[in-house]
């Protein structure tokens, strides 16, 4: 399985870079390092509502000091403190010259003209000094970092209003099958609501791509035309269904006859039938990955194979989700000779995990409840309560 993933990743290059405004950059991956144009904080300021003081004046508290005035956030005082003097100061306001500590208002009587400092504080207490957070000129974010709200906060604080990122990969999601109907329609005997393409649309977006959905019937020529059209506007084509051994497996029949796409079986459950290759049309060559049709198989296959490909195309450094350890709270079995990715729910500290729902490849109820995949090696046929297992954490998409 790992070798198959490596094969899919071989030769991939990130999408071209582009410049994106700060309020539009969430989910993109940085194409170049970002340096801080100045230090954070850029001036010494108070971290508390209180009184700016000279530390020597408060070491023998309780003491009474003269209050020279107030400093609100966004305002600067030109007063320099002298012995016996202080200024009332608000959180975030610049400390006046001569300040060597801030006493929180809770440690005082709250006076406006005169204030009693009831308790001493350490020298430098409650002062945020220049560069405590970030030093000017340092690299604060490196190329390959996927931008989340946390990184946006840093960029904004550095007054960076646009960043150079890799364009999000464009993915065409093709769902095949005469039996498929759209959500909102009433299923009848023999029809199935198309869950896969919507699952994959959302998965592509969460992995940093931009997805377009196309549904096509079990018609080889119609399917091929959809694929050729997609090759003109996509960075990756993703299909779902039609890759097994059935007589009407359109994807396998059409692409196998055309060439350029290989099909195989991977020793994993769910998601054994897989396919990959390239589509070349009118001078455009686009990779294609074909996934099995059962929704859980499609999802697990996406996580193991497609998500890393999209991450690589996005220029990301981290291609795989975090793998951690958890203790099983419920026994389960696993097929011999196949690496199983069981759906599970992990919680607690230390982490505990239990399988959720049935482990069939069609069980979307259990998939919806899961927040991890339990990775069971191919030589393990039973997992008992109390066993430590590896889990793939699905709780964060960055």
User: What pLDDT does 211 receive?
Assistant: 96
pLDDT confidence of residue 398 = 43
Contact residues for 259 (Cβ-Cβ < 8 A; gap 6+): none
The per-residue pLDDT for 232 is 92
User: Shortest CA distance to 205 belongs to which of 217, 213, 195, 216?
Assistant: 213
pLDDT tens series, the chain, 398 aa: 899 999 999 999 999 999 999 999 999 999 999 999 999 999 999 999 999 999 999 999 999 999 999 999 999 999 999 999 999 999 999 999 999 999 999 999 999 999 999 999 999 999 999 999 999 999 999 999 999 999 999 999 999 999 999 999 999 999 887 788 888 888 888 888 888 899 999 999 999 999 999 988 888 898 899 999 999 999 999 998 877 655 557 788 888 878 889 999 999 999 999 999 999 888 889 999 999 988 999 999 999 999 999 999 999 999 999 999 999 999 999 888 899 999 999 999 999 999 998 766 567 888 999 999 999 999 999 999 999 999 999 987 54
CATH of 323-393, one of 3.30.70.2970, 1.10.10.1150, 2.40.340.10, 3.30.460.80: 2.40.340.10
What is the per-residue pLDDT for 254? 85
Cβ proximity of 137 and 88 under 8 Å: no
Q: Distance (Å, rounded) from C-alpha 370 to C-alpha 296?
A: 11
Summarize pLDDT for 281-338 with one digit per residue, the tens: 888 899 999 999 889 999 999 999 999 999 999 999 999 999 999 999 999 998 888 9
Rounded to whole angstroms, what are the CA distances from 246 to 117, 216, 219, 241, 260?
Answer: 83, 17, 14, 11, 21
DSSP string, 339-383: EEEEEEEEETTTTEEEE-S--STT-HHHHHH-SEEEEE-TT--EE
- Establish whether domains 21-39+132-166 and 168-313 are of one fold: no
Distance of CA 42 to the CA centre of its chain: 30
Tell me what pLDDT residue 179 has. 81
Going by C-alpha positions, the residue among 306, 305, 241, 301 that lies closest to residue 270 is 301
- Select 21-39+132-166's CATH number: 3.40.50.620, 3.40.50.720, 3.90.105.10, 3.40.430.10: 3.90.105.10
Instruction: Return the pLDDT at 25.
Output: 97
CATH of region 45-128: 2.170.190.11
Handedness of CA 297, 266, 394, 20 (dihedral sign): negative
The C-alpha atoms of residue 292 and residue 361 are separated, in whole angstroms, by 10
What residue segments make up the domains of the chain, in order of their start? 21-39+132-166, 45-128, 168-313, 323-393
CATH placement of domain 168-313:
3.40.980.10
Q: At what angle do helices 220-231 and 250-258 cross, to 10 degrees?
A: 60
Written as one string, the DSSP assignment of 186-214 is: PP-TT-EE--HHHHHHHHHHHTT-EEEEE
Helices (H), 102-217: 149-157, 196-206
Distance in angstroms (rounded) separating the CA atoms of residues 230 and 165 = 24
Please indicate, yes or no, whether the overall pTM of this predicted structure exceeds 0.75.
Answer: yes
């Amino acid at each position: 399985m790992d070798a198959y993933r490596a094969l899919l990743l071989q030769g991939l290059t990130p999408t071209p870079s582009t410049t994106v405004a700060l309020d539009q950059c969430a989910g993109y991956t940085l194409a170049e390092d970002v340096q801080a144009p100045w230090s954070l904080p850029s001036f010494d300021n108070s971290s508390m509502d209180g009184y700016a003081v000279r530390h020597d004046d408060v070491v023998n508290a309780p003491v009474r000091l003269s209050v020279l005035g107030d400093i609100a956030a966004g305002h600067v005082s030109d007063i320099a403190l002298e012995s016996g003097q202080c200024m009332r100061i608000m959180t975030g306001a610049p400390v006046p010259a001569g300040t060597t500590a801030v006493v929180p208002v809770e440690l005082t009587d709250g006076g406006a003209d005169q204030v009693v400092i009831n308790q001493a504080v350490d020298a430098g207490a409650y002062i945020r000094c220049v560069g405590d957070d970030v030093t000017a000129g340092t690299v604060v974010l490196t190329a390959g970092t996927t931008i989340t709200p946390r990184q946006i906060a840093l960029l904004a604080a550095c007054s960076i209003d646009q960043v150079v990122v890799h364009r999000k990969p464009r993915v065409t999601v093709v769902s095949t099958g005469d039996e498929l109907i759209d959500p909102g329609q009433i299923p009848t005997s023999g029809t199935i609501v198309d869950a896969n393409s919507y699952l994959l649309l959302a998965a592509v977006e969460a992995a940093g791509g931009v997805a377009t959905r196309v549904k096509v019937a079990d018609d080889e020529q119609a399917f091929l035309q959809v694929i050729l059209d997609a090759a003109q506007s996509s960075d990756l084509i993703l299909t779902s269904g039609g890759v097994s051994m059935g007589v009407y497996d359109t994807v396998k029949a059409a692409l196998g006859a055309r060439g350029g796409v290989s099909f195989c079986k991977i020793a994993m459950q769910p998601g054994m039938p897989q396919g990959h290759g390239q589509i070349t049309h009118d001078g455009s060559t686009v990779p294609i990955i074909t996934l099995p049709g059962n929704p859980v198989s499609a999802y697990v296959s996406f996580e193991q194979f497609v998500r890393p490909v999209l991450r690589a195309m996005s220029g990301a450094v981290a291609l795989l989700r975090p793998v951690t350890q958890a203790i099983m709270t419920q026994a389960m079995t696993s097929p011999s000779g196949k690496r199983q990715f069981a759906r599970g729910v992990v919680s607690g500290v230390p982490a505990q995990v239990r399988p959720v729902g049935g482990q069939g490849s069609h069980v979307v109820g259990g998939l919806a409840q899961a927040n991890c995949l339990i990775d069971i090696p191919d030589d393990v046929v039973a997992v008992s309560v109390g066993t430590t297992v590896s889990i793939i954490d699905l709780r964060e998409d960055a």
